[in-house]
Amino acid sequence: MYYNLIVVTLLIFLGNKVLNNKKYHFIAIGGVGMSGLAKYLLQKGFEVSGSDISDSKYVQKVRELGAKVYIGHDANNVPADCTVIASTAIRKDNPEMVRARELGLTIWHRSDLLSEISKHERFFIGYSGTHGKTTTSGLCSYVMEKANLKPSYVVGGLIPELHTNANCANDKFFIAELDESDGTIVKYSPNCVVVNNLEPDHLDFYKNGLDSILETFESFLSNMKENGVILANADNEGVKRLMKYFAENELTNNAKILTYSIGGNTDYCAKNITYGEDYTTFNIYYNGEFQTTLKICLKGVHNVYNSLAVWASLHSSGVDMDLVNCHFETFTGMGRRFEKVGEFDGVTVYDDYAHHPTEIKATLSASKSFKDKRVIAVFQPHRYTRFQNLWNDFMEAFEGIDELVVTDIYAASEDPIDGVNSQNFVNEFCEKSEVKCVYMPGKISDVAKQLMPELKEGDVVIGLGAGTITGLGKELLALSQVVVR
């Protein structure tokens, strides 16, 4: 029961770092989170180097800002006088990690760096929860940028129009996405934090499921800055359990707990929601008093929650809402969040990062706006442990579509688990569901070749997953140029 409490206490102790080195080396600098941190340091005037297994748009961005980037991991890439930054995904036998230990260099987890950055910012707004962190942190950064409020931020995806995932502005507000996947969220102390939802996920780390996640969030929220604000989604069962615990034990360092919901009796509330083909509108109330009618072009009820959470976090942080309200409707969504990536011969292809059953349900519910079109979901399971632990939930996540294609599992450095494979999932799914379901093995380029002959005018293809599935649209577009249709 106390495993996670011991782990998070150790993480807080290990996270007591000082940003005092002028040179930083990132192992896997091309990751969206790692590249954002690297960009921030580069804009701050630090010397940055890094490596990754392949070139990418994220690598190119940090290179343009002055980072020295090596393609491939090699011990010789590591400078002799730097602080090394790595993520949980980097194994101890990585040659650059081995070299860093041999040289006696300081090695930080990426969360240590983000935590230290946040300590040097005046007002820290964090976005947390099992789902919606990237969208909410990106939306907040976007509307503040458009309102010329000059925020600093590090988020987990490319922000539309801004074409970046990080910025160092040296002004009042700092915005960040706070990842709970490995327990390192306990290192942060925001002035304002959104807890959007809490559900079982990352069960390779959270051995006792939601109970373990709640223990971690108890430690995290107990470390809030004094007189901070916690914005809690009162419609989510996991968040309600957490808030009940805090109400009973008074562990929030004098932080104020505010709630938000759809149609409920909460501090912030969304009412009179109208879902249109192009826009969704709803009224926002604070303490029962009408505040504004918000207009967004994001689809789905989950994005009403996301937008309400961002509005509430800015309002409670003292932002002049008249400056930001009009910019919510021009936010088209983060990269890989129901992102339209191509169109050919009447076929439209979308890409979405959804890799948890709840996320998939939310994405596919938004696809209901495609009336009289055949919707084909192409699902790439992410991690053997997640697929195993949430197997039954995935079975129920694909309602309301016309066809489901399941690809091979994206391992994300995990070892295979006996019996946990896509063919077995498809076999069981076909027994339980009326939705047509097929297994397409191989690389994503192979999947595209198998799928292409089936597509016809009016089809909508939605790629789902956190791995290489993001390349599906590109592969299909390439094939459309050579295939006689």
Q: Binning pLDDT at 50, 70 and 90, where does residue 65 land?
A: very high
Residue 128: strand pairing partners: 195
Q: What pLDDT does residue 9 have?
A: 43
Report the alpha-carbon distance of residue 387 to residue 423 in Å, rounded.
13
| CB burial of residue 90 (10 Å; 0-12, 13-18, 19+) | buried
The pLDDT of residue 293 is above 60: yes
Q: Output the CATH code of domain 121-330.
A: 3.40.1190.10
Of 238-242, 252-256, 450-454, the one with minimum mean pLDDT is 252-256
Q: What pLDDT does residue 436 have?
A: 96
Residue 383: strand pairing partners: none
DSSP 8-state class, residue 190: -
How does pLDDT run across 179-233, given as a tens digit for each residue? 998 999 999 999 999 999 999 988 888 989 999 999 999 999 988 998 899 999 9
Q: Output the CATH code of domain 11-110.
A: 3.40.50.720
The pLDDT of residue 1 is above 50: no
Residues contacting residue 337 through CB under 8 Å, at least 6 positions apart: 134, 135, 157, 352, 353
Q: Output the CATH code of domain 339-480.
A: 3.90.190.20
Can you tell me the mean pLDDT for 401-430? 95
Q: Binning pLDDT at 50, 70 and 90, where does residue 481 land?
A: confident
Q: What pLDDT does residue 3 have?
A: 43
Q: Binning pLDDT at 50, 70 and 90, where does residue 17 land?
A: low
How does pLDDT run across 142-156, given as a tens digit for each residue? 999 999 999 999 999
The pLDDT of residue 299 is above 90: no
DSSP output for 36-48: HHHHHHHHHT-EE
SS3 291: strand
How does pLDDT run across 100-112, given as a tens digit for each residue? 999 999 999 999 9
Q: What pLDDT does residue 252 have?
A: 61
Ordered by start, the domain boundaries in the chain are 11-110, 121-330, 339-480
Whether the CB-CB separation of 78 and 101 falls below 8 Å is answered with no
Is the model more confident about 50 or about 278?
50
**Closest C-alpha to 174, from 194, 197, 192, 200:** 192
**CA end-to-end distance (rounded Å), the chain:** 59
Can you tell me the mean pLDDT for 455-465? 95
Is the model more confident about 394 or about 17?
394
How does pLDDT run across 337-346, given as a tens digit for each residue? 788 898 999 9
Q: What pLDDT does residue 21 have?
A: 66
Q: In this structure, which long-range contacts are made by residues 70-76, counting pairs with CB atoms below 8 Å and at least 24 apart in sequence?
A: 73/27, 75/99
**Using CA of residue 177, residue 206, residue 191, residue 319, what is the dihedral sign?**
positive
Can you tell me the mean pLDDT for 87-94? 90
Can you tell me the mean pLDDT for 33-58? 95
Q: What pLDDT does residue 20 have?
A: 66
Can you tell me the mean pLDDT for 256-260? 95
Q: What pLDDT does residue 366 have?
A: 76
SS3 358: helix
Q: What pLDDT does residue 333 have?
A: 85
Q: What pLDDT does residue 13 have?
A: 42
Can you tell me the mean pLDDT for 163-174? 93
Tell me whether strands 347-352 and 339-344 are parallel, antiparallel or unpaired.
antiparallel
Q: Binning pLDDT at 50, 70 and 90, where does residue 439 land?
A: very high
Q: What pLDDT does residue 15 have?
A: 41
DSSP output for 103-157: TT-EEEEHHHHHHHHHHTSSEEEEEESSS-HHHHHHHHHHHHHHTT---EEEEEE
The pLDDT of residue 37 is above 60: yes
How does pLDDT run across 353-375, given as a tens digit for each residue? 899 898 899 889 877 778 788 99
Share of the chain above pLDDT 90, in %: 75
The pLDDT of residue 2 is above 60: no
The pLDDT of residue 14 is above 50: no
Q: What pLDDT does residue 7 have?
A: 46
The pLDDT of residue 399 is above 60: yes
Q: What pLDDT does residue 8 have?
A: 45
Share of the chain above pLDDT 70, in %: 94
